[in-house]
Amino acid sequence: YVHQLDSLYTVNRELGEENEKIRQQYSKEQDRTRELSKDKEKLNEKITLATVLKAYSISTVGVRLTGSGKEKETDKASKIERVKICFTLGENKLVEPGRKTIYVRIVRPDDVVVTQKVDGDYTFVFNGQTLEFTSKQEIDYQNKDTSTCIYWTKKSKEESAMVGTYNVFIYADGFEIGTSSFILK
């Protein structure tokens, strides 16, 4: 019996040591899996950011129309009739080509969004919030640099615009793709 007990004790000790090694290996593998999951999340975030359109060369100016119908740039609040926002959507092979809706928000110096306010017709969803937009335009994006201009026309020619700095935000596919500003005197 003593010999069997001694044998069983030795086997039990070896099994305990093996069990401990396996637990350590399992713990290391769990740590490695967690680390790989974090890396995968970071890569997915980078891929998501890489598939976002970007607007560059953004130009925002106030415009008045001359008697002949031509546009003339102005920074006078009393003379402005339109706001012209021109920009280029950058080439991006990762973006799905096709029709893209571009939203523009113009925010006055008093932090009010310039909009037509027709029963929620001028709203879109951004980051889970419903935001008002000033103007929108459909663009056929084919993964190449695409230049475009979006206009907003003032409701009343008699009323002058507010003096100060206006901020312009451009959105597409649920992302803010560019910002700009202009000053009216």
> What does the pLDDT look like over 82-129, one tens digit per residue?
999 999 999 998 888 999 999 999 999 999 998 877 666 788 899 888
Q: What is the pLDDT of residue 158?
A: 74
Q: What is the pLDDT of residue 122?
A: 84
CB distance 88 to 145 below 8 Å:
yes
* pLDDT bracket for residue 2 (50, 70, 90): confident
Query: How far is Cα 44 from Cα 148, in angstroms, rounded to an integer?
Result: 30
Asked whether residue 16 carries a pLDDT value surpassing 90, the answer given is yes
Q: What angle do CA 55, 47, 146 make, to 5 degrees?
A: 25
pTM of the model: 0.76
Q: What is the pLDDT of residue 1?
A: 77
Q: What is the pLDDT of residue 161?
A: 85
